[in-house]
Structure formats: C-alpha cells, structure tokens
C-alpha cells in the first residue's frame, strides 16, 4: 500500500488530484483502528503530518475569530491560548480518549470521520464554525451545519482536504459536557455544547442523532424566556433542557438506550444553561 | 571477625518480582513476542452465527492462495474430536453444527497474518441458521430442543439443610441479576508450536493456567502419547480464569504437525472476546427468614447460571454458587436450587471468584434488606450473624478454617472515612470525570458494605496436588515446578520459601514446563497453599539431607541442627556453618508432592464436606453518585482481608488492589452485551474497564490469623478482593440515591430512570 507524503497544502491537493482514491491520514486514531480491525483496506494513504501549515493556528483580533489548522492535535486545544479563546473546545478536547490519543488525534480527523459521537463537533455546531477545504480548484469555506450531512458523512469532495476550522471568539459563556459510562477515555453516550453567541443562546447535541443536532426550539424558548442570559432561573433551565430533549433523536444501541440519551440531554442542557452563571 | 549479613528476601518481606523490571521496561517476552526460524502464522475461521447447521465447508480456494501451507477442519483432527475441562463436550472444530457466535470451524497456516486473513475469507461455509436458545430459563426443562447431545441442562444441584418448616418473624426477598464479565487480560491468547523432527511429537510454548491439563487434552485430540506433547509456559499477560480452558492450543499444534514447521497463533482483541470463556451471567432469587432482631433462621434460594454453548467448568461454578448461598453468616436452615444450563450464548467458565461472585451479590443485597426490615444498620446485621470457626455450613460441612468474620467487619469499620467532597472539587473528582457533567451540588455520597466467604482449592473430591523439586548445590537453589505464573507472583514467593527454609540467598526458578509433575491450575486462590506447600516440602527434604551430610561430617546428630539466618547451627552445641560452605561440592535434589486433605462429593440434598478451606474479606465502599445522570465515582474502598499469614506484603496488596479494580468493573461498567446470542461489544472501546481515574483509594488491612491447615499458614488472597467489593459498591449507590438496584453492573439508566 503506497503512503504518499505531502509537505505543503498545495502538494497535498496535487497528490489527491492524482490519486483520487487515496485515504487521508491526519492523526490516525480512527483510521488505523479501522485498518487494524480489517474493516478498511485503503489502496493508498495520503499522509498530512508533515504539512507544517496544518498544525498552525491564529487569532484574528479584528474579526474576533480563531482559525485552527486541521492538523492541530487535541492536546494543543486543552490549555493555553486556544483554550482561552474557545473554552468549550478545550473542554471537549479533554474528553477525547487518552493522553496518547489526544497527542495524535486532530481536529481535521474529527471532521473527516464526522461521527455523531465526534467529541469536538458539538462545539463547532454551537459556535457555527466554518470549515476550510482546499483542492486544486481553490479554497471553499463551508458552515459546519452544511458540512456534516449524516453519520460519518460530510460534504468534503473526494479531491478536497480539510485545512482548518474558524470559530468565533465570543467572550461570552460557553460550556461542553459529555456523558460516558466511564470517568475518562470513553465514547460519548450523549454530549452537548451550550454557547452564547451574538447574545443568543445556542445548544448543539452529540450522539443523539444522525448528525450533531441544534436544539432550535430550546434556543428559541430561552431567548424569549429571559432578557439576561447570565441570569437564568433553575425553572427556566429545566424547561430549556426538557425542550432540548424532545429535539434529540437518539437510538438504542449497545452503548446506551434512546430513553437514557434523551434524559441525559435534558440534564446536560439544563445544567449547561446555568453553568458559569451566578445562580 | 564480624560477618556482615546481607538482607535476604525471605518469607514476610516484600521481595520484588524477578520479572518486574523487565515488565516495566517492556523487555519481558510474552508468548506473543516469541518467534521461531521458518515460522508460519496460524489463524482461525469462526462462526458468524450463534446457532446453525453446517451444510458444507469448501476449503479449495484457500489452499490455492500463494503462501497458504495448510487448512484444517474437524476432518483433520487425528484423535478425540472434542475437549473440555470437566465434560469433553466442545469440538476442536465444529463439524455439523455451530452452537455459539465465534465457534472455530477451520484453521489455516500461512506465511503471513495477512495471507491467513485472505485464506480464511476464501473458505466457503454454507450454513442453515437454526433457532437460537438465548434464554437460560428455556434451557431448564423440555421447552427447547436440545442444542447438544448432552442436553441443555449441564447440572442441577439442590441443597436441603435443617428443619425446612421454619418460618422467620421477618422475611425479605430479592431477585438479582449479574451480567457477563470478561477477564480482559491484556496479553491475548498466544502459542508457538514446534514440531518434533520425526513428526510424532510437538513442543508448545503457551500462555496458560495449567500446563498439565492442557497437555492431557491436547494429547487426546492430537492422538499422541502425553509425553510427546511437551508444554512450556510462555510469558503470560494475565489470566483471571480465562486460560483454564483450551483455546488455540490444539489448533496451533495440529497446524505445526501438519506442516512440519513452527506455527504461531495469536488472537487479536476482538477474537479474544470469542476465544475464551467469560464469567457466568446469572439470576439469583433469595428469600431470607430472620428473627425480629435480625438473626438468620432460614434461606431459600434459586440460582440459574448461563453456561453458554459448552460445559467448561459450569458444573463446578454452580456448586460454588449454591454452597456459598449463606455468605459468611450463620444459617441453620436452607433450601437451594441451582441450575447451570446450556444456551447458544458465549461459553462461560472460570473467572476470579468462580460462582461465589454471583452468590455474594445476592446475599449481600439480602443482608441490607434484612437490616432495613428489622431496623438496624448494615454493620450490626452482619456482626450479629457473622460466621465463626466451627460453624456448620448449609452443606453440613464444619468451617475448620480460621474465620475472623466479625473482626474483619470491625477492622474495616475502624478505617477512617474519606473527607467530604470539597465545595470546589475539581471535575475529575466528580462522577462524570473529564466529561464535566456535574457540579459539586449535584452529587450525593453513599456508603455500602460487602462481606464474603470463598472456598480455596478445588472441591468435590478432586485431588489437585502440586509437585515441586528443590536442588541445592554450592549454596544455590534451583526450584522446578509446573506452576503457571500468570502474574500472581509465585516466581517471587517460591525463592522466598527456599531462602527461609534453607538459609540460602541465591534461589531461582527453573523453566516452567511439563518436565515435572503437575502443579494443578493457577486458580481457586490455591497456588500459595498448594505449590507453596510443594516447594516448602521439597526444601524441607533437602534440608534434612543437608543436615545428614553435615552431621556425618562433624559427628553431630542431624536432629540437633536448625537453620538460623544463613547458617546451620547445632541447637545443643556450638557448631555453626554457613549453608553456602556446607553445600560446597555437593548436590542435593528432592521432589515433593503436596496434597490437600480429601474432600467429598455432595449428595442429592447438597450435603457433604465438599470444600477444603475458606477465606474471608470485608469491604466498605464510599461512592459519589450523580443521581440525575446516573454516573458514579467510587471514592474509597476500605477492606480487611483474612490472609492467614502475610508472606509478601507487596504481593498481597497488589492482589487486593487489583481485585478491587476488577470487582469495581463488575459493579459499574464491565459487561459483555449479548443480544440473542450475538456479542455486541467485543472491543476495549465498548467493553469498558476501569481507568486510573475510576480506581478508588484503597485502604487495606491484612488480618493475620495463622491458618493451621495451610503449609505456610497463609491463605490464598487472589479471589476474595474481587468478590464482596461489587455488592459493597452497589449498596453504596443504593444508599446514595435511596433506590433499590438489583443488578450489576449498574448502568446509568438503572440509577436515574
């Protein structure tokens, strides 16, 4: 199996244009497991770890945004400037696997796999991040809501690579929670990200539907129920969680039940709605 | 002249493992690391169905793949077509019918694991899918066609003891469910087989718990004389019961004999879940009758153990379950019915705790119910009923072992409780951990108790003896035995025994293989007692011979000699000589077999002295629970364990901490999910084991009351730590949330929905 090594983004897109069947490796914490389990037999692999540009991140202070390269590992998001700019992302990154996995796994990989249980994806959904895609045809920027289209399905075209993600720096309350049956190193049974963006509440839910779901009714309820998002009564928070859980579309599987997942969303959403407030 | 005494790692010291450094550094060769010149790889084709008739098997295409050297099916097995620990009911390869998902059908040998994979994919098996017997209750009686010639009921045992007409003032009842736990050792099944040049024998390096039992079963299937199947223990990465049964042993040896080349087989993690037996899932009903004060007057119980497709050790697991119904409590009257049944679920067999785990989960749930019913607390109810030496079990057997049950409970109770959760506790200290699901205010704390009794050694008339040889030469001791070292630490303990008995410093273990008599299995918490007894016996024989030699040389009656530190001393005179000097130029070698006292089979009423000895332990669990989300963090386990005599404190603590982690796993996360015979989570992604963040603080007291029956005064310590910690944790969860929970593992939805 040929391994094709790119050193720049343009080299990567060139390789991909010439080898449209190549499987992109960016961290390998999903792909290598699939290969080892014989679930996948790539004809060739495009390796991105030697593209320095993908491992960079930058803050645009005029736009109040942060752009994180697709090769930035989770470990780099847990603390420091990225964590300060997007605290919910840091919280999500901390829940990914073990320290070894967080050192290897990347934002681009999470987006490439696009599992409904992808740990950072609810943050990207709540913050309405945009995904940067590059190909020989140029760059394309896609809102997260249009990027993830199904379980493990995204709108990346075969000849495109994911290069970066841009997120707003809101300076407002945001938080992430994930339920698993173990206190660390566990696949999400249900997860949620709450954020205040442009003075409106946003709630995204993971592992409770075919894609990351936005709880639009709950968001609307909260917008109407309060004038100050920093003062939310327990009663309103409960109602918010209740509505959010009706918007979840969970299933039964070997990890949990639909009933528990919907319940967990109710609890997580109501707790996140007040997390960091005075109440 | 003053002599400088070097510290010797005798009994009672925390002697370090001889293989510890290598294991920490990654230098230790596990069986999976072995390699031989000109070696082929082996792989196994397994059934995708839990129950199906095999219409045809076509291996033609697999043979044609370049690099494939051999394909074998049931038709190629030269000897007995089945194997098994108690009943030989499991086919080496399925021939006419498959009875569980993952049952072996064929094996291949090829030049590379990837070639093996392609060869397996090229084998065509035509199945006729059959109805799946997945409900153990349907296996009792005639409700389902027998799925095996030996029928669907593996064993039934009834216990009737005392005046069964007795009715208690207070009656409590419960139905308990115990999920299927996996041993989840880290080193998956592996073996390397080297054929003899004449093709009439084979040497096999294998990770196993009992070399001689493997050898016996392999020789029968391979149709070879036992002595031509030579087994050597490969490096073992954990066992916990999962290496008692044959897995890849016969397949690997058969491929090596067929190809006349070395063959190595190694299961991956997913295959490992299908390649070994698991802990029996069970349902247990118990009804306790007591006086108004809470003294037990009668226990009624019914056990159903799901043995899965093949018998393995189910019959013995059942007996352990039913005979431990009462737990470590006095009980004058009992009526117990137990069933071990065959289904199309994964085969179940030995796992740490062996049937007692299931009984204990139920009797401890009952003790708490009883405490509540008579208006007392969990500690008082247990103290009131605590068993003592001399008490009769419900089998009529007297407990002759040291039985410090009340002391264990009191000493555990004296261990300080952990501090309250701080108001600003870090999220990693809260249930939910790194997921940041809760704040301090959401958390409730609970305390729960579990106390257990566990038989040690094999039961029901089985003579599971152990053999050891001690050779002393020039002040050095070499110990030879077939005791499987699976991580429990016998390779540490055996030299400690030799140093204590013979006064030597230099004591090492020879290769562990079948070139000496059997040591029995490394299971049932028995090797310290049994192989420890054998090594002790062999060393004592050598010491006698040494005293004779020295006595003859110096004209002193050998009976006057004793070993004092590293010297032979005349206890009635002034003569002293170092053991090193005394053994210069001579070689003394002695072999000793240690047998435990005989036991009996149970009669039709479950009466008989079927067990050898018993060990006890108490656990108190403190857990924090998020009642709304159903998440749990175990904060502290306090424990006092009846150990007889501590021979190596560090080793004992290792067993206690490890056992507690395994028992915690069963309490809150470890379960093989089986739906209609299909395993849904055969991976460490979805079969969850406790991580460091899930492991509690363990505060342990080792209670030393010398066990007169035991050769070294020491009881086995391997199983007890994992038995009562599970009910203790579940009781603590009940205490925190004020809700009854009758199953383990406890799932989030069991707490909050």
Residues B576-611 have pLDDT tens digits of: 999 999 999 999 999 999 999 999 999 999 999 999
Residues of A in contact with B429 (CB under 8 A): none
Please, which residues 568-587 of chain B have a Cβ atom closer than 8 Å to chain A?
Answer: none
Q: Would you call A103 an interface residue with chain B, using a CB distance cutoff of 8 Å? A: no
- Asked if the Cβ–Cβ distance from A186 to B688 is below 8 Å, we say yes
Question: Can you give the pLDDT at residue A228?
Answer: 92
| Interface probe, candidates B437, B681, B690, chain A, greatest A C-beta count within 10 A | B437
Per-residue pLDDT tens digits for A213-226: 999 999 999 999 99
Rg (CA), chain A: 19
Residues of B in contact with A264 (CB under 8 A): 629, 748
Question: Where residue B142 falls among pLDDT bands split at 50, 70, 90?
Answer: confident
- Asked if the Cβ–Cβ distance from A185 to B690 is below 8 Å, we say no
The two beta strands, B40-46 and B104-110, are antiparallel
Beta bridge partners of A69: A164
Per-residue pLDDT tens digits for B470-488: 999 999 999 999 999 999 9
Residue of A nearest to B428 (CA): A183
Beta bridge partners of B675: B678
| Interface probe, candidates A183, A194, A241, chain B, greatest B C-beta count within 10 A | A183
What CA–CA distance (Å, rounded) separates B78 from B76? 6
Same domain, B293 and B394: yes
What is the mean predicted confidence (pLDDT) over B15-20? 96
Residue of B nearest to A35 (CA): B114
What is the mean predicted confidence (pLDDT) over B311-325? 98
**H or E element in which residue B470 lies:** strand B466-473
Contact between B448 and B733 (Cβ < 8 Å) = yes
Residue of B nearest to A272 (CA): B437
Question: Can you give the pLDDT at residue B5?
Answer: 57
Residues of A in contact with B273 (CB under 8 A): none
B563: three-class secondary structure by DSSP: strand
Per-residue pLDDT tens digits for B391-430: 999 999 999 999 999 999 999 999 999 999 999 999 999 9
Q: Is B136 inside a domain boundary? A: no
Nearest-by-Cβ selection for A263 from B673, B685, B752: B752
What is the mean predicted confidence (pLDDT) over B182-205? 97
pLDDT over 80 at B4, yes or no: no
State how far residue A36 is from chain B, nearest Cα, in angstroms: 9
Residue of B nearest to A265 (CA): B629
pLDDT over 80 at B336, yes or no: yes
Same domain, B612 and B477: no
pLDDT over 90 at B713, yes or no: yes
In order, the DSSP letters of B496-519 are HHHHHHH--SEEEEPP-BSSS---
What domain count does chain B have?
A: 3
Same domain, B676 and B693: yes
Q: Would you call A279 an interface residue with chain B, using a CB distance cutoff of 8 Å? A: no
Same domain, B572 and B684: no
Residues of B in contact with A254 (CB under 8 A): 673, 675, 680-681, 686
Residues of B in contact with A95 (CB under 8 A): 434-436
In order, the DSSP letters of B154-216 are EEEEEEEES-TT---SEEEEEEEEE-------SS--EEEEEE-TTSS-EEEEE--S-HHHHHH
Identify the CATH number of the domain in which residue B664 sits. 3.30.365.10
Please, which residues 118-177 of chain A have a Cβ atom closer than 8 Å to chain B?
Answer: 175-177
pLDDT over 70 at B649, yes or no: yes
What CA–CA distance (Å, rounded) separates A17 from A228? 51
Per-residue pLDDT tens digits for A2-60: 999 999 999 999 999 999 999 999 999 999 999 988 889 999 999 999 999 999 999 99
Note the Cα B51 to chain centre separation in Å: 29
Residues 6+ apart with CB under 8 A from A63: none
Q: Is B156 inside a domain boundary? A: no
Beta bridge partners of B263: B40, B193
- Asked if the Cβ–Cβ distance from A254 to B673 is below 8 Å, we say yes
* CATH 3.30.390.50, chain A: domain bounds: 174-274
Note the Cα A164 to chain centre separation in Å: 12
Question: Can you give the pLDDT at residue B403?
Answer: 98
- Asked if the Cβ–Cβ distance from B748 to A267 is below 8 Å, we say no
A1 exposure class (CB count in 10 Å sphere: 0-12, 13-18, 19+): exposed
pTM greater than the 0.90 cutoff:
yes
**How large is the greatest C-alpha to C-alpha distance in chain B, in angstroms?**
86
Same domain, B61 and B101: yes
Domain span including residue B406: 282-459+601-752
What CA–CA distance (Å, rounded) separates B158 from B337? 5
What CA–CA distance (Å, rounded) separates B688 from B665? 8
Same domain, B248 and B351: no
Same domain, B68 and B200: yes
Residue that the structure tokens 């949620």 belong to: A192
State how far residue B721 is from chain A, nearest Cα, in angstroms: 21
Q: Would you call B121 an interface residue with chain A, using a CB distance cutoff of 8 Å? A: no
The two beta strands, B97-98 and B52-58, are antiparallel
Question: Can you give the pLDDT at residue B141?
Answer: 86
What is the mean predicted confidence (pLDDT) over B209-234? 98
Contact between B236 and B491 (Cβ < 8 Å) = no
- Which of A151, A135, A273 lies closest to A208 in space, CA to CA? A151
State how far residue A225 is from chain B, nearest Cα, in angstroms: 24
Q: Would you call B426 an interface residue with chain A, using a CB distance cutoff of 8 Å? A: no
Q: Return the CATH number of the domain spanning residue range A3-50+57-168.
A: 3.30.465.10
Per-residue pLDDT tens digits for B80-123: 999 999 999 999 999 999 999 999 999 999 999 999 999 999 99
Q: Is B169 inside a domain boundary? A: no
Nearest-by-Cβ selection for A181 from B633, B688, B753: B688
A253 exposure class (CB count in 10 Å sphere: 0-12, 13-18, 19+): middle
**H or E element in which residue B731 lies:** helix B725-737
Taking 70 as the pLDDT cut, the residues of chain A under it are: 278-279
Q: Is B700 inside a domain boundary? A: yes
State how far residue A144 is from chain B, nearest Cα, in angstroms: 23
Q: Is B746 inside a domain boundary? A: yes
Q: Would you call A38 an interface residue with chain B, using a CB distance cutoff of 8 Å? A: yes
Q: Side by side, which strands form the sheet with B153-161?
A: B153-161, B334-341, B296-306, B282-290, B170-178, B743-744
Q: For chain A, give the secondary structure using H, E and C.
A: CCEEECCCHHHHHHHHHHCCCCEEECCCCCHHHHHHCCCCCCCCEEECCCCHHHHCEEEECCCCEEEEECCCEHHHHHCHHHHHHCHHHHHHHHCCCCHHHHHHCEHHHHHHHCCCCCCCHHHHHHCCCEEEEEECCEEEEEEHHHHEEECCEECCCCCCEEEEEEEECCCCCEEEEEECCCCCCCCCCEEEEEEEECCEEEEEEECCCCCCEECHHHHHHHHHHCCCCCCCCHHHHHHHHHHHHHHCCCCCECCECHHHHHHHHHHHHHHHHHCCCCC
Identify the CATH number of the domain in which residue B85 sits. 3.90.1170.50
Same domain, B253 and B371: no
Residue of B nearest to A78 (CA): B434
| Interface probe, candidates B117, B268, B428, B435, chain A, greatest A C-beta count within 10 A | B435
- Which of B316, B286, B290 lies closest to B303 in space, CA to CA? B286
B433: three-class secondary structure by DSSP: helix
Of the three residues B594, B610, B635, the one that is the final residue of a domain is B594
Residues of B in contact with A255 (CB under 8 A): 686
Q: Helices B649-668 and B725-737, interaxial angle, to 10°?
A: 50
Please, which residues 155-194 of chain B have a Cβ atom closer than 8 Å to chain A?
Answer: none
Question: Can you give the pLDDT at residue A278?
Answer: 64
Question: Can you give the pLDDT at residue B2?
Answer: 46
Note the Cα B76 to chain centre separation in Å: 33
Q: Would you call A180 an interface residue with chain B, using a CB distance cutoff of 8 Å? A: yes
Q: Would you call A1 an interface residue with chain B, using a CB distance cutoff of 8 Å? A: no
- Which of A206, A26, A209, A245 lies closest to A125 in space, CA to CA? A206
Q: Would you call A113 an interface residue with chain B, using a CB distance cutoff of 8 Å? A: no
- Asked if the Cβ–Cβ distance from A260 to B631 is below 8 Å, we say no
Please, which residues 17-36 of chain A have a Cβ atom closer than 8 Å to chain B?
Answer: 36
Same domain, B379 and B418: yes
Same domain, B492 and B374: no
Same domain, B478 and B608: no
- Which CATH fold would you assign to the domain A174-274? Enolase-like; domain 1 (3.30.390)
Same domain, B528 and B397: no
Contact between B302 and B334 (Cβ < 8 Å) = no
What CA–CA distance (Å, rounded) separates B548 from A41? 71
Q: Is B474 inside a domain boundary? A: yes
Residues of B in contact with A277 (CB under 8 A): none
């Amino acid at each position: 199996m040929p391994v094709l090594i790119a050193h720049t983004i343009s080299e990567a897109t060139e390789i991909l244009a010439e080898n449209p069947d190549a499987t992109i490796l960016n961290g390998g914490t999903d792909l290598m497991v699939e290969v080892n389990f014989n679930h996948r037999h790539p004809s060739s692999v495009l390796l991105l770890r030697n593209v320095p540009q993908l491992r960079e991140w930058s803050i645009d202070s005029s736009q109040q945004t942060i752009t994180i390269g697709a090769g930035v590992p989770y470990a780099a998001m847990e603390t420091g400037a990225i964590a300060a700019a997007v605290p919910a992302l840091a919280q999500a990154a901390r829940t990914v696997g073990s320290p070894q996995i967080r050192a290897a796994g990347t934002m681009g990989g999470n987006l490439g796999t696009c599992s409904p249980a992808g740990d950072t994806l609810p943050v990207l959904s709540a913050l309405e991040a945009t995904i940067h895609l590059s190909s020989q045809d140029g760059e394309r920027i896609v809102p997260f809501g249009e990027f993830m289209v199904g379980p493990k399905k995204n709108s990346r075209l075969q000849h495109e690579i994911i290069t970066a993600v841009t997120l707003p720096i809101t300076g407002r309350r945001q938080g992430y929670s994930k339920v698993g049956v173990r206190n660390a190193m566990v696949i999400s049974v249900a997860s949620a990200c709450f954020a205040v963006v442009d003075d409106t509440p946003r709630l995204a839910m993971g592992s409770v539907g075919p894609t990351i779901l936005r709880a639009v009714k709950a968001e609307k309820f909260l917008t109407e129920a309060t004038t100050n998002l920093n003062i939310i009564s327990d009663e309103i928070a409960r109602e918010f969680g209740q509505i959010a859980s009706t918007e979840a579309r969970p299933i039964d599987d070997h990890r949990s039940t639909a009933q528990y997942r919907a319940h967990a969303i109710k609890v997580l959403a109501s707790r996140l709605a007040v997390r960091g407030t005075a109440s | 002249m003053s002599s400088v005494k070097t510290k010797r790692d005798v009994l009672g010291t925390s002697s370090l493992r001889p293989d510890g450094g290598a294991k920490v550094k990654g230098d230790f060769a596990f069986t999976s690391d072995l390699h031989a010149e000109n070696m082929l790889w082996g792989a196994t084709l397994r059934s995708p169905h839990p129950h199906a008739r095999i219409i045809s098997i076509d291996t033609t295409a697999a043979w044609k793949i370049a690099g494939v050297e051999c394909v074998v099916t049931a038709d190629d097995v030269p000897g007995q077509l089945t194997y098994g620990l108690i009943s030989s009911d499991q086919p080496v390869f399925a021939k006419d019918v498959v009875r569980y998902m993952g049952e072996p059908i064929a094996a291949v040998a090829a030049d590379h694991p990837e070639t093996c994979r392609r060869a397996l994919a090229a084998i065509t098996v035509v199945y006729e899918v059959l109805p799946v017997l997945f409900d153990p209750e349907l296996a009792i009686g005639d409700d389902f066609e027998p799925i095996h010639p030996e029928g669907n009921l593996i064993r039934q045992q009834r216990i009737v003891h005392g005046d069964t007409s007795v009715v208690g003032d207070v009656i409590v009842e419960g139905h308990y469910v115990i999920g299927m736990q996996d041993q989840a050792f880290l080193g998956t099944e592996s073996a390397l087989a080297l054929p003899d040049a004449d093709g009439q024998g084979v040497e096999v390096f294998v990770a196993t718990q009992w070399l001689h039992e493997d050898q016996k079963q392999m020789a029968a299937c391979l149709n070879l004389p036992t002595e031509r199947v030579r087994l050597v223990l490969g490096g073992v990465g954990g066992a916990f019961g999962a290496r008692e049964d044959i897995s890849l042993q016969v397949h690997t040896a058969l491929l090596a004999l067929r190809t006349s080349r070395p063959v190595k087989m190694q299961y991956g993690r997913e295959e490992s879940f299908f390649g070994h037996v698991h802990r029996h899932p069970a349902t247990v009903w118990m009804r306790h009758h007591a006086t108004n004060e809470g003294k037990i007057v009668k226990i009624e119980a019914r056990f159903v153990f799901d043995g899965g497709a093949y018998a393995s050790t189910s019959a013995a697991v059942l007996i352990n379950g039913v005979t431990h119904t009462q737990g470590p409590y006095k009980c004058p009257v009992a009526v117990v019915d137990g069933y071990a049944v065959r289904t199309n679920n994964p085969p179940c067999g030995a796992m740490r705790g062996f049937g007692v785990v299931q009984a204990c989960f139920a009797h401890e749930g009952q003790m708490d119910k009883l405490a509540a019913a008579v208006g007392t607390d969990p500690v008082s109810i247990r103290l009131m009923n605590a068993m003592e030496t001399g008490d009769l079990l419900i089998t009529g057997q007297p407990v002759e072992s040291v039985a410090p049950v009340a002391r264990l409970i009191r000493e555990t109770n004296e261990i300080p409780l952990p501090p309250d959760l701080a108001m600003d506790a870090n999220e990693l200290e809260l249930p939910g951990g790194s997921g940041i699901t809760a704040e301090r205010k959401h958390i409730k704390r609970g305390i729960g108790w579990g106390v257990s009794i566990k038989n040690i050694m094999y039961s029901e008339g089985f003579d599971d003896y152990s053999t050891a040889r001690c050779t002393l030469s020039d002040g050095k001791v070499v110990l030879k035995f077939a005791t499987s070292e699976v991580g429990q630490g016998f390779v540490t303990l055996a030299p400690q025994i030799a140093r204590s008995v013979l006064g030597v410093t230099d004591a090492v273990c020879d290769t562990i293989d079948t070139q000496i008599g059997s040591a029995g299995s490394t299971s049932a918490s028995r090797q310290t007692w049994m192989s420890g007894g054998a090594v002790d016996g062999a060393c004592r024989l050598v010491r006698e011979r040494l005293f004779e030699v020295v006595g003859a040389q110096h004209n002193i009656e050998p009976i006057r000699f004793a070993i004092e530190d590293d010297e032979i001393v005349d206890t009635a005179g002034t003569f002293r000589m170092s053991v090193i000097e005394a053994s210069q130029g001579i070689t003394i070698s002695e072999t000793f077999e240690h047998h435990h006292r005989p036991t009996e089979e149970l009669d039709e009423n479950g009466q008989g002295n079927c067990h050898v000895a018993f060990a006890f332990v108490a656990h108190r669990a403190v857990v924090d629970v998020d009642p709304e989300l159903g998440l749990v963090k175990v904060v502290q386990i306090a424990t006092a364990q009846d150990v007889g005599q501590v021979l190596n404190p560090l080793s004992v603590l290792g067993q206690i901490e490890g056992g507690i982690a395994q028992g915690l796993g069963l309490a809150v996360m470890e379960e093989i999910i089986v739906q209609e015979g299909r395993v849904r989570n055969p991976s460490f992604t979805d079969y969850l084991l406790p991580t460091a963040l899930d492991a509690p603080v363990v505060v342990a007291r080792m209670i030393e009351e010398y066990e007169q029956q035991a050769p070294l005064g020491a009881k086995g310590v391997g199983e007890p730590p994992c038995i009562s910690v599970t009910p203790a944790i579940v009781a603590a969860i009940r205490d925190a949330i004020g809700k009854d929970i009758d199953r383990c593992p406890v799932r989030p939805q069991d707490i909050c929905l």
